[in-house]
Amino acid sequence: MNRIYMDNSATSFPKPSGVIGAMVAFARDCGASAGRGAYSEARACEEMIATCRGRIAELINAEAPERVVLAMNCSEGLSMAIRGLLNTSPRGTHVIATAMEHNSVLRPLNALKEQIGIEPEFIACDPSSGLVDPDDIRRAIRSETKLIACVHVSNVTGTIQPIAEVAQIAREHGVGFLVDAAQSAGHVEIDVRKLGADMVAFPGHKGLLGPLGTGVLYVRPGFEECLATMKEGGTGTISELAVQPRTMPDKYEIGSHNAIGLAGLSEGVAWVLDRGVASIRDCDVQLSGLFMELTDGAGGLAVYGPRDTDYRAGVFSVNVRDIAPGVLADRLESQYGLLTRPGVHCAPLAHETIGTHPAGTCRLSFGPMTSEEDVKTAAAALREISGG
Ligand SMILES: Cc1ncc(COP(=O)(O)O)c(C=O)c1O
CATH of the domain at 236: 3.40.640.10
Mean pLDDT of 336-364: 98
**pLDDT tens profile 85-131:** 999 999 999 999 999 999 999 999 999 999 999 999 999 999 999 99
Find the domain containing 350 and state its range: 4-15+276-386
Mutation test of ligand 1: which of 7, 13, 79, 104 has the most ligand atoms closer than 8 Å to its C-beta? 104
Are both 235 and 253 inside the same structural domain?
yes
Residue ending a domain, choose from 243, 274, 305: 274
Per 3-state DSSP, the chain is made up of helix, strand and coil in percentages (nearest 5) of 40, 15, 40
What CA–CA distance (Å, rounded) separates 33 from 323? 50
d(CA 200, CA 208): 14
According to the model, what pLDDT value does residue 130 have?
Answer: 98
Are 71 and 98 members of one domain? yes
What pLDDT, on a 0 to 100 scale, did the predictor assign at position 166? 98
The verdict on the CB of residue 100 being under 6 Å from ligand 1 is no
Q: For the domain that residue 378 is a member of, what is the CATH number?
A: 3.90.1150.10
Please list the residues that pair with 365 across neighbouring strands. Answer: 7, 315
Please compute the mean of the pLDDT values over residues 31-45 and round it to a whole number: 94
Residue 84's pLDDT is 98
Single out the residue in 274, 304, 330 at which a domain terminates.
274
User: How many Å lie between the centroid of ligand 1 and the Cα of residue 293?
Assistant: 28
Q: Which amino acid is at 78?
A: L
Q: How many CB atoms lie within 10 A of CB 373?
A: 10
Whether 80 is in the pocket of ligand 1, judged by its Cβ within 6 Å, is no
Same domain, 244 and 327: no
Alpha helices (H) in the chain, listed in sequence order = 17-25, 40-60, 74-86, 103-116, 134-140, 163-172, 192-195, 259-275, 277-295, 325-336, 348-354, 372-386
Residue 279 has pLDDT above 90, yes or no: yes
pLDDT-derived band at 277 (thresholds 50, 70, 90) equals: very high
Contact predicate 304/316, CB 8 Å: yes
CA of 76 to the centre of ligand 1 (A): 10
pLDDT at 189: 98
Residues 130 and 256 in one domain: yes
Q: Is the CB of residue 157 below 6 angstroms from any atom belonging to ligand 1?
A: no
Closest approach atom of ligand 1 to CA 155: 16
Inter-residue contact 48 to 264 (CB < 8 Å): no
Q: What is the largest CA-CA distance in the chain?
A: 69
Structurally, how many domains does the chain consist of?
A: 2
Mean pLDDT over residues 2-26, rounded?
98
To the nearest whole percent, how much of the chain has pLDDT over 70?
100
Would you say residue 386 has pLDDT above 90? Answer: yes
Closest CA to 235 of 225, 221, 223, 248: 248
Give the confidence band of 34 by pLDDT, cuts at 50, 70, 90: very high
Shared-domain flag, residues 29 and 143: yes
The whole-model pTM stands at 0.98
Confidence band (pLDDT; 50, 70, 90) for 316? very high
Domain end marker among 223, 251, 274: 274
Ligand 1 atom nearest the C-alpha of 215 is 10
Mean pLDDT in residue range 35-41? 92
Q: Which among 165, 100, 108 has a CA at the least distance from the CA of 138?
A: 165
Residue 44 and residue 28 share a domain: yes
State residue 295's pLDDT score: 98
CA–CA dist 212, 36 (Å, integer): 24
Give residue-wise pLDDT tens across range 158-195.
999 999 999 999 999 999 999 999 999 999 999 999 99
Write phi, then psi, for 161 (nearest 5 degrees): -80, 150
Average pLDDT over residues 3-17: 98
CA of 384 to the centre of ligand 1 (A): 31
Task: Kindly list the distances between the CA atom of residue 292 and the CA atoms of 43, 136, 329, 378, 383, in Å, as whole numbers in the listed order.
Answer: 50, 29, 19, 11, 12
Instruction: Answer yes or no: is pLDDT of 1 > 90.
Output: no
Peptide bond into 108 cis (omega under 30): no
Confidence band (pLDDT; 50, 70, 90) for 35?
confident
**What is the residue-averaged pLDDT of the chain?**
97
Element (H, E) at 319: strand 315-320
User: What is the structure's pLDDT at 388?
Assistant: 78
- HSE (CB half, 13 Å, CA atoms) of 271? 25
Question: Residue 79: CB within 6 Å of ligand 1?
Answer: no
pLDDT score, position 221: 98
- 231 and 361, same domain (yes or no): no
